[in-house]
A and B are shown apart, each in its own frame.
Chain A
Amino acid sequence: MPVLEIKNVSKQFGGLMALNNISFQVETGEIRGLIGPNGAGKSTMFKNIAGFYATTKGEIVYQGQNISGHKPHAIAEMGIVRTFQETTLFQELTVFENVLVGCHIQARSNLFSAIFKLDKPRQNIARDQVLEVLEFMGLSERQEQLASELPLGSQRALAMSIALASKPKLMLMDEPFAGMNPEETLHMMELTRKVQESGMTIILVEHDMKAVMGLCDYLTVLNFGQLLAEGTPAEIRNNDKVIEAYLGGSK
């Protein structure tokens, strides 16, 4: 059963067609790679799915429900969370607090219970969950540090931790391995696989082809806003159109 169906989605910026009539489906539990040269429209696709941009045309169907036009927070509540291409963290908060904000959906409280501390049990559960995520991502030692003080690789890991803390069903990861050294990348790939095994669906945008080919079950290729090809990593590797797009594309 597809968890996500993109149906004839287009996104226009002024005169530029950043996405042109794109359709594809993502199956529950897979790791899908969304690749393409710079400016292909990958991030734009993510922003459309997550509700940060309004689609110009077309439908985005998640678990059988049309979510195009929904607000980002409403979409997050339905279980879709995106990470950002540029490192995006609460720089002024500690690592722990960053992830704690990520638990918003489970841990939020209303004014009354906040004032009278009636939400304490829920907050304690959230704190345990934060510790769990930090442990999983290998950030436990750094939990008291400010996010801005982390090295780049750990910052990317923190960004992923924030997303994980919201317990999504579908995670859109925009170049999660950018800025990591090969060792860190390998480690993160392993973690990503573990996340998938816990039942989550992942769509991955990444320029590191080794990582993409190693992780993804299936690939969707975009180029200049068009759907160029779809297939297994092996098929895509040998697809002439894809090879041409990457070689001829502006890099």
Chain B
Amino acid sequence: MNSNTQKIVGGSLLLAALIALPHFLKFHHQDLLIFLTINVLAVSSYRIVTLTGEWSLIHAVMMGVGGYTAALLFKYYEVGMWVTLPMAGILTAAVAALLCFPLFRTTQFYFLIGSFAAGEAIRLIWIQFVFPFGGTGGLSGVEPPMVGEIDFMESIPYYYLALSVVLLCLFILYLIENSRIGLTLHAVHWKAALAESVGVDTWRYRSLAFVIGSFFVGIAGALKVHYLGTITPNQFGVGFMVFILIWVIVGGYNKFYGPILGAVVLTLFDESIRGFAEVRPAIYGAVLILSILFLPLGLESIPSKFKAWSGIGKERDPLSLTDK
């Protein structure tokens, strides 16, 4: 009861801060805030895919699938963002569902490579087929909506729009993770054979996690393209995939908020090394290596490590299923 009130108070404070935040920022930083908001959805949706223990390398491309869906619908069918947003999610999920048939016949290393190959194939298709995808140059002129007086082309309104969509998505992801389905995904991860012996169709649950993750990252892709206005195949290449990996790993993938923490902290870090544009990838590479070597459970694990060290509480992934 007490902890519930705490949660509500904390949540409201956080929400208030998020709402107030853009008014204290310069334009450039408002921009950044919007991308960060979108990237938070990208990493959180990736987390649900990894819950089953399978690390895919196609997540960035799936975000692109969502982005291209939105861009194509907008350009060729002239439908607005209110339609393209859900459609991006649905279509990305559909593509993911098709990919499940080949990809989830494999696991682990084979899945990793298979997902990478499938992603590259999709990206090359965008490059190859200038109609409708626009080739290497991609598509441009995708606009956000206009509602009465509010022009979402402006940063602050768009930020509020993206924030509400992302928060809603995060809430749903959180509910899924803490439901029976979440427990089963964990079970598939830790001991697939045992799960199967009590009737869990592991193929279905791996696929389910992948489709759900793709749905939400598809929405993230649509949010991105409507703000940026343009979309190109290279936005969703290995480079971006690696960023997702870095955010998730540096933040810590054992808890729901770990990847979000990673995205936020590293975006701030990224801002601080803006001056060293040329060597930025190398700095990222070093951060990735160092965190794997010295903080394999991510930033998220620091408080519990500290607690364990000072003897306050035990390190443990809280996996409570339903509210007791």
Contact = CB atoms under 8 A, between A and B. Distances in A.
B196 A119 contact: no
Interface in B125-141: none
A84 B198 CA distance: 12
A122 to B, nearest CB: 8
Contact of B321 (A76, A123, A162): A123
A139 B152 CA distance: 58
Interface string A87-106: 01111111001001110110
B181 A109 contact: yes
Contacts of A111: 176, 181, 208, 212
Contact of B322 (A82, A101, A123): A123
Contact of B198 (A52, A93, A97, A163): A163
B201 A71 contact: yes
B187 interface: yes
Nearest to A109: B180
B228 interface: no
A88 B199 contact: no
A93 B187 contact: yes
The interface size bin for chain A is 35 or more
Interface in B196-212: 196-202, 208, 212
Given A91-B190, A93-B190, A101-B183, A72 B176 contact: no
Interface in A37-79: 50, 52, 71-74, 76-77
Nearest to B202: A73
Given A114-B175, A120-B322, A108 B194 contact: no
Nearest to B199: A76
Interface residues of B, number: 29
A243 to B, nearest CB: 34
A29 B41 CA distance: 53
A73 B200 contact: yes
Interface in B120-176: 172, 175-176
A115 B202 CA distance: 20
Contacts of B200: 73, 101, 104
Contacts of A127: 322
A82 B187 contact: no
B319 A93 contact: yes
B175 A89 contact: no
Max chain A Cβ within 10 angstroms of own Cβ: one of B176, B200, B316, B317: B200
B233 to A, nearest CB: 31
A89 B195 CA distance: 9
Nearest to A146: B316
A93 B176 CA distance: 18
B184 interface: yes
B179 interface: yes
Nearest to B175: A115
A81 B198 contact: yes
A101 B201 contact: no
B94 to A, nearest CB: 15
A71 B179 CA distance: 25
Contacts of A119: 179-180
A20 interface: no
11 contacts: A52-B197, A74-B201, A76-B197, A76-B198, A88-B191, A89-B194, A90-B190, A91-B191, A100-B321, A107-B180, A123-B180
Given A83-B197, A115-B175, 8 more contacts: A74-B201, A77-B199, A84-B194, A84-B197, A90-B186, A109-B181, A119-B179, A163-B197
- Give the 9 A-B CB pairs with smallest separation, nearest first: A76-B199, A114-B179, A72-B196, A166-B198, A105-B199, A101-B187, A73-B201, A90-B190, A114-B181
